[in-house]
Amino acid sequence: DGDAYKYYCDGEWRKSSSGKTVAIVNPTTRKTQYKVQACTQEEVNKVMELAKSAQKTWAKTPLWKRAELLHKAAAILKEHKAPIAECLIKEIAKPAKDSVTEVVRSGDLISYTAEEGVRILGEGKFLVSDSFPGNERTKYCLTSKIPLGVVLAIPPFNYPVNLAVSKIGPALIAGNSLVLKPPTQGAVSCLHMVHCFHLAGFPKGLISCVTGKGSEIGDFLTMHPGVNCISFTGGDTGISISKKAGMIPLQMELGGKDACIVLEDADLDLVAANIIKGGFSYSGQRCTAIKVVLVMESVADALVEKVKARVAKLRVGPPEDDCDITPVVTESSANFIEGLVMDAKEKGATFCQQYKREGNLIWPLLLDNVRPDMRIAWEEPFGPILPVIRINTVEEGIHHCNASNFGLQGCVFTKDINKAVLISDAMETGTVQINSAPARGPDHFPFQGLKDSGIGSQGITNSIDMMTKVKTTVINLP
């Protein structure tokens, strides 16, 4: 298939020997937009073999040189923001401005990673033995951080570029090699991003990008004996990866059901603005989206009115026009969201707007008076549908939040900082935002989920640490 994008192996673009391709359907037109190679298991083996040998030389390349190449890649990526954003628009229907922001943010992330890397990897520790009982000062212990080997990076469709470079940057600065398996929707954006690393001049085989069907190469990649670390962002697949993976470090971020707890004294205009941003940006397709509002009954009517007024102003349509609400990523995703809406309807939720759908485009919908027996109270729609649960006590809100399988982020709105901190302590989530919607960024902040939301902690510094191991050398004095 001459039109299909090639995959990246040994510093060059190749066609798969399978002769097969995977189609990428544009969520807006619902027609095939691009095709990528359906790589084979043999091709994965080849990529792993090259990654292993390239890593050995890369680990010996001076840290400042590794950083220099990353800075170069960051600059090239930013120069190519327009064509990459165009791919994001066509593959994942991300609004035009947000698509550009994603690429620019990714360039900044790579540069920051290079800077952080030269500092934290340029330092080690020095310990002496006589601080531990029974020891004389006869042992000097030197520590440094060494790479793990081959890092497998699997980003999700919603930030295919940003959540790829958040894995690639830390892996490379720390001296690892990198195998990237992009999501199907977002694969072409990833291939363009990889081309920027190619143009920067990284050694052959150090970075590879294999595309294809999960059924053919998914398990094969994640269970491959050549992989020394997996960094995955996505959905439930992460749970099965963590069960099947070998004895290697895992970094997983698997979604959430971020709650927004609103107290009586909250600034309701601020809350409404954050519910719109947190609940509806990129049509709710963010792991950190607000996915349930838990509001005190006494201010619920006023808040719902304010949110309704803002929902009415959201622009619904194609990503090319930079609309706020754009088609969700696939038809099956739209069907899933619709299932949640229908369940809430049968069980008596109050519809603040009429439910409307055309193809993959779902109009924003606020569901009031949601009760715990409705699926939408617990499940993650990954769409522009937001449930409101009215609560009579703060404890009720905390209880709902903690009864979830997820524990990514949450937010609390109140003018009482003491209460906010106590609520934050009580919420079983990796992060709590006080008086703002949940968000992963800035990208150097620690980012982690409890329970089914993930394993480990991300953020630039934490990812570099996670992709290294401590090595010690002990000098024994006579």
Q: Which two tokens stand for residue 282?
A: 């990129």
- Cβ 132 to ligand G3H, closest distance in Å? 42
Of 258 and 368, which has the nearer Cβ to ligand G3H?
258
Cα-based distances in Å from 336 to 283, 328, 379, 385: 14, 11, 10, 12
**Positions of E strands within 15-57:** 21-25, 32-37
Of 167 and 400, which has the nearer Cβ to ligand G3H?
167
Of 224 and 286, which has the nearer Cβ to ligand G3H?
286
- Cβ 255 to ligand G3H, closest distance in Å? 8
CB-based contacts of 243, cutoff 8 Å, min separation 6: none
Of 175 and 407, which has the nearer Cβ to ligand G3H?
407
Cα-based distances in Å from 42 to 142, 209, 229: 41, 14, 20
Name which of 364, 405, 397 is nearest 259 in CA terms.
397
Name which of 293, 297, 289 is nearest 409 in CA terms.
289
**Would residue 253 show up in a list of annotated catalytic residues for this protein?**
yes
Secondary structure (H, E, C), 238-250: HHHHHHHCCCCCE
- Cβ 208 to ligand G3H, closest distance in Å? 24
Cis preceding-peptide flag for 442 (omega within 30 of 0): yes
* Pairing mode, strands 125-128 and 139-147: antiparallel
Q: Which of 43, 102, 116, 253 is catalytic?
A: 253
Site residues, ligand G3H (CB under 6 A): 158-159, 286-288, 439-441
* Pairing mode, strands 357-358 and 361-362: antiparallel
- Cβ 286 to ligand G3H, closest distance in Å? 4
- Cβ 176 to ligand G3H, closest distance in Å? 21
Return d(Cα 113, Cα 164) in angstroms, integer.
13
- The answer for 382, left when phi > 0, alpha when psi is -120 to 50, beta otherwise, is left
Q: Which of 9, 39, 260, 287 is catalytic?
A: 287
Query: Which residue is at the shortest CB distance from ligand G3H?
Result: 287
| Residue whose token pair is 């990198």 | 178
- Cβ 388 to ligand G3H, closest distance in Å? 21
Of 96 and 439, which has the nearer Cβ to ligand G3H?
439
Of 147 and 364, which has the nearer Cβ to ligand G3H?
364
Please report how the helices 162-173 and 63-79 are oriented relative to each other, as an axis angle in degrees rounded to 10: 160
Task: Show which residues are catalytic.
Answer: 253, 287
